[in-house]
Structure 1
């Protein structure tokens, strides 16, 4: 009897390999061949699931959002009856590069942002993600403070590079974010 293959799991495995390649060599170095080698699969298998590099990278971007979302859900589930401020803080701090996973995601985010500057499809995907996140953040804020969602989110995004480069520690970045959260929820 032939072995049943979980296509979604294979695609996620390939996406995780994309993250590792970007983390170590940058997005320009990503090729189907490099990703296949990193994933420990054949080039043909990667091509079976993704016909182009862009298709593979767009899937990886979506997968990253799902990965962060699962971690955030677990984090929120651990909070008993969280306040809107706690939910907002959890959402934003989950994006800061403070763990191995979130550092990898920050590097990948920056790589996708760089590609988006010159590639309309990537720009559209990032704008869509921004819209969804900003809507979720704004819903947590008091009605007269919903404009603060932009400030909080883009402060967090702006801290990715400085934390990755060692200008700030994750704790220092979180302290900056907490200061702004206190203002937004005052």
Structure 2
């Protein structure tokens, strides 16, 4: 009986190989051949799933979002009886390169941002991701306001994007060692202190 192949899992493994290549050698090093070598499969196996590099990169970008969401859900599930502030803090920390998976995702994300300036499909996917994150973030802040958790005069529709883009602005400084993960998280905590009661 022929061995059953989990095609979805094979694609995810190839996406992870893309991440490793980007994280260790940079975006320019990504090729079907390099990904095949990293994944330990033949070039033909990669081409079976992704006829061109562009197809492989689009899939990898989608996979990155799924990977971040899975990490975030795991972090949130570990919180006992969390407040809105706890949830927002955990979500923010999951988007920063404060551990090995977060660092790898941040390197990949930055690489895709660079490519997105000249590749409309990447820009569309990244823009869509931003819109989803901001929608959830604003909803969390609005709920915190309704629960009376925010300080007087705090506008959830302004503070949610401000915190998110503070987080995004800290990614590069953490990656290059200007800020340690703890220093960056302290900045986030100070912002939360300003917003929450």
Residue matched to 1:113: 113
Aligned residues: 186
TM-score, normalised via structure 2 length: 0.91
Instruction: Find out whether 1:146 has 2:157 as its counterpart.
Output: yes
Question: Which residue of structure 1 lines up, in the alignment, with residue 45 of structure 2?
Answer: 45
Q: What are the Cα deviations for residues 122-171 of structure 1, in whole angstroms up to 9, with x where unaligned?
A: 11100000000001111111353222111111111111111010000000
Unaligned runs of 5+ in 2: 146-154
Where structure 1 has 5 or more consecutive residues not aligned to the other structure, the ranges are none
Q: Which runs of 4+ in 1 moved over 4 A?
A: none
Q: TM-score of the superposition, structure 1-length normalised? A: 0.96
CA-based RMSD of the aligned residues comes to 1.1
What is residue 123 of structure 1 aligned with on the other side? 123
Name 1:8's counterpart in structure 2.
8
In the alignment, the residues of structure 2 paired with residue 76 and residue 15 of structure 1 have an alpha-carbon distance, to the nearest angstrom, of 25
**Partner in structure 1 of residue 190 of structure 2:** 179
Q: Could you say which structure has the larger radius of gyration?
A: 2
